Chains A and B, each alone.
Chain A
Amino acid sequence: MRRALGAIIVATALGSGCVAPRTLTRSAEIDAASDVAFRAAAATLLDDRQVFDLSDGDAGLVAGGPPSSVYGASERTTFWVTPIETERSFVIVQVHHVGYESAEALDRRLDWLLGRLRQRCILGGDVAPFDQDDQDDDAGGAPEPGGPP
């Protein structure tokens, strides 16, 4: 009886630790105009099969989450694009996750998001979907869009 109770307490403690909210932030300078970087960020969110829930082109803010966030958010991704020079921008990407993803998995997701953003900026802010063949090559083994990190 005692062992069972102890196991339940330990499992509950571990479980509550796993679903603790995690917020990871990364920033990068990108050789692209701010409007191009903003379009690239929005297209990256679509590539990741996310639903826009905030957008402000003037402020350079675009955010989204998985479509199930309509019923209760579990993850939110925010891009903030700030112009530095005419053809240079500063991008902050933040992932706020409440769930069972590990910090490493979220780190890989940030890598994928920034990698895709850079690719799109190189293509001049192209918003069309990438070919599946290209997706396998980008960001060094990056996860499939919408799939687990």
Chain B
Amino acid sequence: VKYHRAIAPALLVACSGGCASPLLGPAQLDALHTRQYDAPAEATFNATANALIDMGYHIGVTDADGGILAASRRRDPSIAEHALWLTVSTTLTFGRAPMLAPPDYFIMCVLVAPESARPRSIVRFETFKNGRLVGEEKRFDELWARIDRRLLTMGCALPDREADPAPASSDTAE
């Protein structure tokens, strides 16, 4: 009985820490999801696709005419996480149902649209983690930074220059 009394609070603490969602409201999330660029929509689309590939995403849907991208990424747990899950599940189920840590699935949907005042464009995206909408500022910042970098390498700071997509670099996130 003492054994179970000790496990229950530990489970509660673990669950409250793991289930904590980012404290951002829908309006704040929406604001983080959109950014305008002083570049044509075609160049911004190319930059966004490159940025997603750089971040380790696998592009599943792409439509340059419609400005639509959908990409997904799987993050496998580390060996330490697997070991933790295996230990905890084995302990809690008395060795009957040991399990490994489940992977995380990320999905990112991007819409790139031209603005009326060309050559400006607007990028809007939504991110999902394991089927739920997430708001991780770190991830947003990373995407914006990579798009910025790509646009700069394309020379889109100068509106007169044509977009010239640079080859994808080999650096990947995480």
Contacts and interface: CB of A to CB of B under 8 A. Distances in A.
Contacts of B6: none
B111 to A, nearest CB: 5
Given A42-B66, A67-B131, A52 B61 contact: yes
A146 B133 contact: yes
Contacts of B100: none
A125 to B, nearest CB: 7
Contacts, number: 87
The binding surface of chain B is classed by DSSP as strand
Given A46-B124, A55-B61, A71 B131 contact: yes
B147 interface: no
A54 interface: yes
Nearest to B31: A129
Interface residues of A, number: 31
Given A52-B68, A58-B65, A70-B131, A125 B109 contact: no
Q: Is the interface of A mostly helix, strand, loop or mixed?
A: mixed
Interface in B63-92: 63-70, 72
- Interface size grouping (class) on chain B: 20 to 34
Contact of B68 (A55, A67, A132): A55
A92 interface: no
A132 B133 contact: no
B66 A62 contact: yes
B64 A57 contact: yes
A-B residue pairs, 9 tightest by C-beta: A57-B65, A57-B66, A129-B30, A55-B63, A68-B131, A67-B128, A55-B68, A52-B70, A67-B131
